[in-house]
Structure 1
Amino acid sequence: MIIVTTDFVTGSTIKEVKGFVRGSTVQSKNIGRDILAGLKNIVGGEIRDYTKMMDEARQLAIGRMTEHAKEKGANAIIAVRLETSSVTSAASEIIAYGTAVIIEET
């Protein structure tokens, strides 16, 4: 599956647009991470546990979006975007979305 943020895939022609696809996940904080985050807030620096958690959440959302595109018979996803929003004070949603297409190399 080719995944791009552009509206086209260089060297390819869009043969068919299959439509909107998306994948999302909601990740919640945990007490261990919160304690470490509190300490980092005092001394400063990257909160690596949160960075890892959000990276895993992005990968999961992209994977779900890819599965949605495969279900539609697509071989590429164009105009991909990622967004994050707070669901509660202790949880965030990551959503990946784009347009599923069938492309052919030119």
Structure 2
Amino acid sequence: MLIVTTDYISGKKLETLGIVKGQIVQSKNIGRDIGASFKNLVGGEIHSYTEMLSEARAVATRRMVEEAEHLGADAVIDVRYASAAVMAGAAEILAYGTAVKFIAE
């Protein structure tokens, strides 16, 4: 499955199948939250949250691809990510794009 952030794929004619998305709300455990609170006092990167968001993006992307595969897509174009804090220590990640099929010329 080809995944791109552009709204085209060079050299390919595309048939639009529709919007696809993948979504996850993820949180860290209380032990990591306590450690992050201490890091917040002194500043710097909070590695446990960076890791959490990276894992969440991977899951959201995988879910988006699965939805595109279900539609019979060859690629997802114009891929974007959105995030939002749901509550302290939890974030929503949304991956979305347009599922397309390659048209033989």
Do both proteins adopt the same fold according to a TM-score greater than 0.5, normalized to the shorter chain?
A: yes
Residue 10 of structure 1, CA deviation: 1.9
Q: Is the 8 A contact 1:11 1:105 kept in 2?
A: no
CA distance in 2, matches of 1:46, 1:87: 20
Q: Which residue in 2 is equivalent to 1:72?
A: 71
Residue 90 of structure 1, CA deviation: 3.8
Aligned ranges 1:17-28 → 2 under 5 Å: 17-28=16-27
Residue 87 of structure 1, CA deviation: 2.4
Over residues 33-56 of structure 1, what are the superposed CA-to-partner deviations in whole Å (9 max), with x where a residue is unaligned? Answer: 111111211222111111001000
What is the aligned-residue identity percentage? Answer: 53
Is 1:36 aligned to residue 26 of structure 2? no
Over residues 21-68 of structure 1, what are the superposed CA-to-partner deviations in whole Å (9 max), with x where a residue is unaligned? Answer: 001011023211111111211222111111001000000000000000
Q: Which residue in 2 is equivalent to 1:82?
A: 81
Q: Which residue in 2 is equivalent to 1:4?
A: 4
CA distance in 2, matches of 1:5, 1:72: 19
Q: Unaligned regions of 5+ residues in structure 2, if any?
A: none
Change (3 A) 1:45 1:89: closer
TM-score w.r.t. length of structure 2? 0.91
TM-score w.r.t. length of structure 1? 0.90
CA RMSD of aligned residues (A): 1.6
Q: Is the 8 A contact 2:3 2:75 kept in 1?
A: yes
Q: Unaligned regions of 5+ residues in structure 1, if any?
A: none
Residue 93 of structure 1, CA deviation: 0.9
Change (3 A) 1:6 1:101: same
Q: Which runs of at least 4 in structure 1 moved beyond 6 Å after TM superposition?
A: none
Report how many residues are paired: 105
Q: Is the 8 A contact 2:33 2:89 kept in 1?
A: no
- Secondary structure of 1:6 counterpart: coil
